[in-house]
């Protein structure tokens, strides 16, 4: 269960992508934290009109939540997809499809960038607050030893740069806020067993969430803009 002692008693949390395997587990875990004052869920499945790739809908959702709930101390973006419209990751550059590649960037880079744009202003200015977005270790350029998965890797690498750059700007307006990218590990979700068969460790969504929230709780102010694994270790860019 979450023990977010780094956040003030009664902290307010928002989980975006709450209908997914990891998002739902985050909501469940935070609801079990007696120090958490409220947990608000947002997802395309449960909130009509919300579309990560449509800026007007993202902006409208942020405005609605700001009016209804004010500021948040924790905003967790649990969105993302490996397989989109039936197309999974490529095994070779020869398999690149520009339409599929654009879809990867729309969901895994541009969408989260829009969330940062419209939801970071909802972070508390007077208290410690954290905005975290799910990235992936395969988005690390320095850690790429196997190749393949070009569109997904590139989109996640773009997301990491977005987080790094936006964190510098966020520090000017919200000096007590952190913005970070977090790798959840290999998790049993709807991504499918075929993408997990060679993973040495596979977590249930709740196992991953417990580890990620513990890692977030240990972040220091200077960690803003960083890229971390579920255990709190730094992942190279």
Q: What is the pLDDT of residues 221-232, one digit of tens each?
A: 999 999 999 999
Per-residue pLDDT tens for 103-135? 999 999 999 999 999 999 999 999 999 999 999
For residue 103, being part of any structural domain is answered with yes
For residue 235, being part of any structural domain is answered with no
For residue 58, being part of any structural domain is answered with yes
For residue 1, being part of any structural domain is answered with no
pLDDT of residue 190: 67
For residue 2, being part of any structural domain is answered with no
Can you tell me the distance from the alpha carbon of 189 to that of 21, in angstroms, rounded to the nearest whole number?
6
Can you tell me the distance from the alpha carbon of 56 to that of 60, in angstroms, rounded to the nearest whole number?
6
pLDDT greater than 70 at residue 198 = no
Per-residue pLDDT tens for 201-211? 889 999 999 99
CATH number of the CATH domain containing 22: 3.40.50.720
Give the predicted TM-score (pTM) of the model.
0.96
With bands split at pLDDT 50, 70 and 90, how would you rate the model's confidence at 81? very high
* Distance from the Cα of residue 11 to its chain's centroid: 19
For residue 237, being part of any structural domain is answered with no
For residue 5, being part of any structural domain is answered with no
For residue 3, being part of any structural domain is answered with no
The boundaries of the domain holding residue 91 are 11-229
Tokens at 83, concatenated: 């397989």
- The count of structural domains within the chain is 1
103-119: b or e for each residue (b if 16 or more CB lie within 10 Å)?
bbbbbbbbbbbbbbebb
């Amino acid at each position: 269960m979450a023990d977010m002692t780094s956040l003030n008693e009664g902290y307010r949390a928002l989980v975006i992508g709450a209908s997914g395997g990891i998002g739902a587990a985050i909501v469940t875990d935070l609801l079990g934290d007696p120090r958490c004052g409220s947990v608000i869920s947002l997802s395309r499945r449960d909130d009509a009109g919300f579309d990560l790739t449509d800026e007007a809908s993202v902006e409208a959702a942020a405005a609605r939540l700001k009016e209804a709930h004010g500021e948040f101390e924790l905003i967790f973006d649990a969105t993302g997809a490996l397989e989109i419209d039936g197309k999974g990751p490529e095994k070779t550059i020869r398999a690149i499809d520009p339409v599929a590649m654009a879809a990867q960037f729309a969901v895994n880079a541009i969408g989260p960038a829009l969330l940062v744009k419209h939801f970071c202003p909802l972070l508390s200015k007077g208290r410690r607050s954290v905005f975290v977005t799910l990235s992936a270790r395969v988005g690390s350029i320095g850690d790429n030893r196997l190749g393949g998965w070009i569109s997904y890797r590139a989109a996640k690498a773009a997301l990491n740069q977005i987080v790094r750059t936006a964190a510098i700007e966020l520090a000017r307006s919200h000096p007590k806020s952190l913005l970070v990218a977090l790798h959840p590990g290999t998790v049993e979700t709807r991504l499918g067993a075929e993408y997990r068969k060679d993973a040495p460790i596979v977590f249930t969504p709740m196992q991953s969430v417990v580890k990620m929230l513990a890692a977030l709780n240990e972040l220091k102010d200077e960690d803003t803009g960083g890229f971390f694994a579920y255990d709190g270790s730094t992942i190279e860019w």
